[in-house]
């Protein structure tokens, strides 16, 4: 396959002008779009409707080009929160058949999957973990990837609103943990989805994960999972990215794991993996979390004690500034809440770059 990646600035959640311009120029065939990741400027919490607004705007524009059914098949992952220097933008992934004139080479490939819808009481449950694991495996197979060559798995997952709890079964597994707190349900949804990735990639054995593991045993995690919860969907949308020798893409991906929010060395390791100059980086994708221990580099932090601003918002601002400072570009994708995504207080970081030795 041939995968292309485009990063497009946005002036607001409903701004599709940049995408439309690339379509009009013939640089993007809208029928080839398989996934769009976005950073929107809301609060990133339960009531962040900029995510749904952005998806609605994109679907409306693309439906006019390729039809509503095709537009809805695209993976939309809108991550709310552009605190600090983070700049709103879209990252558009296209996939087309390999061109016969281009020889296969080591490069970027991708796979996608939509799971079934989840009931409110299933959020954070083992059923969710294993359903996501099956979905990730399906996406890996679609991409033609080996698990060890997967560098990033991005998932958009649902949450539980107060309205949805009316139809929930309060005696079901995990219900007591998530049904009483919409914000907590975001963490459980992210955590269960990340554990599904860990199972799919063989990072942890399925029998090592129980219902009590989710959002409790943070020593169990995936090194490549990035999950983001939102009110705008009820299923999980999965995007798997990695490198394969069958690619004809001009792009490559690498990753590392940040041990804490200030871990610039991990960012440099991820950049080193792609073996390309910094000016060839298309985007960096990272997770952010306020260390649950209350300390960072043996110094006390107060992010978890602030009742005015969510700790996920503070963490995004910190990691966003750290990543942006390394590549001198604030238009990076940093998502808050890294339950079971990297070690406590840290998280995966992935880099996509264009190969300078290729013109196609």
The whole-number mean pLDDT for each consecutive block of 10 residues of the chain, a chain of 360 residues, reads: 96 98 98 98 92 97 98 96 97 90 90 96 95 98 97 96 69 60 92 98 96 94 96 95 96 98 98 97 97 96 93 96 98 97 97 81
Phi, psi of 125 (to 5 degrees): -90, 170
Whether 269 is covered by a domain: the verdict is no
Catalytic residue among 7, 156, 184, 287: 156
The pLDDT assigned to 360 comes to 42
Whether 113 is covered by a domain: the verdict is yes
Total number of residues shown for the chain: 360
The pLDDT assigned to 43 comes to 93
Question: pTM (2 decimals)?
Answer: 0.94
* HSE toward the beta carbon, residue 356, CA cutoff 13 A: 8
The pLDDT assigned to 168 comes to 64
156 is catalytic: yes
CA distances to 190, 218, 223 from 200, rounded to whole Å, are 15, 18, 12
Q: Specify the pairing of strand 89-96 against strand 2-9.
A: antiparallel
228 is catalytic: yes
The pLDDT assigned to 260 comes to 97
To which H or E segment does residue 72 belong?
helix 68-73
Considering the domain architecture, whether residues 151 and 260 belong to the same structural domain is answered as: no
CATH classification at residue 289:
3.30.1330.160
User: In terms of residue numbers, what domain contains 133?
Assistant: 102-249
Angle at 36 between CA 158 and CA 253, to 5 degrees: 105
Phi, psi of 55 (to 5 degrees): -65, -45
Catalytic residue among 222, 228, 310, 338: 228
Whether 271 is covered by a domain: the verdict is no
Question: Following DSSP, what letter does each residue of 253-299 receive, concatenated?
Answer: EEEEEESSTT-HHHHHHHHHHHTS-GGGEEEEEEEE---TTSEETTE
Considering the domain architecture, whether residues 33 and 136 belong to the same structural domain is answered as: no
CATH classification at residue 26:
3.30.1330.170
Considering the domain architecture, whether residues 146 and 239 belong to the same structural domain is answered as: yes
Whether 259 is covered by a domain: the verdict is yes
Rounded CA separation 204/15 (Å):
41
Q: Which residues pair with 9 in a beta bridge?
A: 89
């Amino acid at each position: 396959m041939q995968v292309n990646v485009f990063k497009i600035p946005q002036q607001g959640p409903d701004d599709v002008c940049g995408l439309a311009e690339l379509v009009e120029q013939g640089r993007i065939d809208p029928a080839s779009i398989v996934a769009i990741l976005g950073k929107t400027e809301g609060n990133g919490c339960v009531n962040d409707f900029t995510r749904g607004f952005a998806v609605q705007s994109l679907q409306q524009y693309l439906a006019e080009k390729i039809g509503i059914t095709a537009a809805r098949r695209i993976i939309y992952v809108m991550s709310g929160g552009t605190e600090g220097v983070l700049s709103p933008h879209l990252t558009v992934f296209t996939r087309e058949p390999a061109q016969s004139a281009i020889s296969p080479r080591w490069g970027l490939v991708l796979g996608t999957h939509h799971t079934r819808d989840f009931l409110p009481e299933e959020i954070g449950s083992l059923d969710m973990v294993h359903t996501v694991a099956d979905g990730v495996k399906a996406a890996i197979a679609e991409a033609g990837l080996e698990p060890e060559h997967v560098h990033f798995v991005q998932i958009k997952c649902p949450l539980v609103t107060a309205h949805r709890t009316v139809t929930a079964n309060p005696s079901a597994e995990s219900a007591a943990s998530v049904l009483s707190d919409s914000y907590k349900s975001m963490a459980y949804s992210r955590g269960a989805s990340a554990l599904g990735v860990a199972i799919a990639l063989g990072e942890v054995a399925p029998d090592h994960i129980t219902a009590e593991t989710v959002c409790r045993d943070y020593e169990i995690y995936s090194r490549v999972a990035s999950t983001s919860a939102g009110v705008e969907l009820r299923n999980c949308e999965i995007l798997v990215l990695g490198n394969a020798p069958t690619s004809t893409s001009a792009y490559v991906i690498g990753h590392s794991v940040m041990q804490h929010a200030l871990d610039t060395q991990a960012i440099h390791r991820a950049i080193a993996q792609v073996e390309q100059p910094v000016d060839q980086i298309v985007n960096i994708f990272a997770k952010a979390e306020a260390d649950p221990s209350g300390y960072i580099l043996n110094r006390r932090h107060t992010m978890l004690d602030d009742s005015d601003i969510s700790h996920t918002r503070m963490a995004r601002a910190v990691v966003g500034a750290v990543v942006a400072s390394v590549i001198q570009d604030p238009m990076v994708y940093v998502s808050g809440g890294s339950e079971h995504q990297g070690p406590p207080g840290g998280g995966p970081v992935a880099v996509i770059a264009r190969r300078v030795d290729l013109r196609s």
